[in-house]
Copies of this chain bind each other. A is one copy, B any other.
């Protein structure tokens, strides 16, 4: 397989993976493109490589910066902005965990708390309370586990943790 074929396949696969994780295809592809680029790229280069419009590129680059997966890089003497991706996989994963935890797990915990206030004596009410309680228990545990994980450094993760459970 040539480098170009490989790049193409990687962009395609990473984009598809993104889709099935609620991240839009283009955002995932921009991320993939920056990951495998040894140099920072400008918006124009990204637009050209992925054949997308300026608006689309801009929005998704901003989103990636929001997630903390991509950084702006200003080259001296250049008016344009260049972009570079976090390359350390463990940092990438920590970023994603942190963000999704904040955006999804924490709001869910809040909702579950509200739902705990439902008190109904019927069979339906009991079943409801039971499910909410279980989900809340599980989610809180997941929450603190993820906190620990994202505070751990890569070496600890690949070393201690992996050895321990395997």
Chain A residues within 8 Å of B, Cβ to Cβ: 1-3, 5-7, 9-10, 13, 17, 19-22, 35-38, 87-90, 93, 103-104, 108, 111, 114-115, 117-118, 120, 122-128, 131-132, 134-135, 137-138, 141, 144-145, 148-149, 158, 161-162, 164-166
User: With A6-B115, A89-B138, A120-B3 in contact, is A36–B128 under 8 Å at CB?
Assistant: yes
Q: Find out whether the CB atom of A165 lies under 8 angstroms from the CB atom of B141.
A: no
Q: Which B residues are CB-close (under 8 A) to A144? A: 166
Q: How far is the CA of A144 from the CA of B118 in the complex (A)?
A: 40
Which listed residue, B2, B124, B132, B149, touches A10 by the CB 8 Å rule? B132
Q: Which residue of B lies closest to A137 (CB)?
A: B89
Q: How far is the CB of A114 from chain B (nearest CB, A)?
A: 7
Q: How far is the CB of A143 from chain B (nearest CB, A)?
A: 11
- Between-chain CB contacts (< 8 Å), 29 pairs: A1-B114, A1-B115, A2-B118, A3-B118, A3-B120, A5-B118, A6-B132, A7-B128, A9-B115, A10-B111, A10-B115, A10-B128, A17-B104, A20-B22, A21-B21, A22-B22, A36-B124, A37-B127, A38-B123, A38-B124, A87-B134, A90-B138, A141-B158, A145-B161, A145-B165, A145-B166, A148-B165, A149-B165, A161-B165
